[in-house]
């Protein structure tokens, strides 16, 4: 993934598609719920 693409996700300029969201969650070892809501699921 290009650095600019990720920066656009962080800034809210773009939204990742479903497959990319899963890859990001896997990379950071978090759930997609955490990425989308900022909530840790117990």
Tens of pLDDT along the chain (42 residues) come to: 889 998 999 899 999 999 999 999 999 999 999 988 887 766
Q: Classify residue 42: in a domain, yes or no.
A: no
Q: Classify residue 26: in a domain, yes or no.
A: yes
Q: Classify residue 27: in a domain, yes or no.
A: yes
Q: Classify residue 25: in a domain, yes or no.
A: yes
Q: Classify residue 24: in a domain, yes or no.
A: yes
Q: Say how many domains are in the chain.
A: 1
Query: CA nearest 34: which of 12, 13, 10, 25?
Result: 25
Average pLDDT across the chain, whole number: 89
Domain span at 12: 3-37
Query: CA nearest 25: which of 42, 3, 17, 5?
Result: 17
In this predicted structure, what is the pLDDT of residue 42? 62
Percentage of the chain surpassing pLDDT 90? Answer: 67
In this predicted structure, what is the pLDDT of residue 11? 94
Instruction: Give every CB contact of residue 42 below 8 A, 6+ residues apart in sequence.
Output: none
Q: What is the pTM of this model?
A: 0.73
């Amino acid at each position: 993934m290009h650095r600019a693409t990720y920066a656009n996700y962080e800034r809210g300029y773009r939204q990742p598609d479903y497959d990319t969201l899963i890859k990001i969650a896997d990379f950071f070892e978090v759930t997609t719920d955490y990425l989308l809501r900022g909530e840790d699921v117990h």
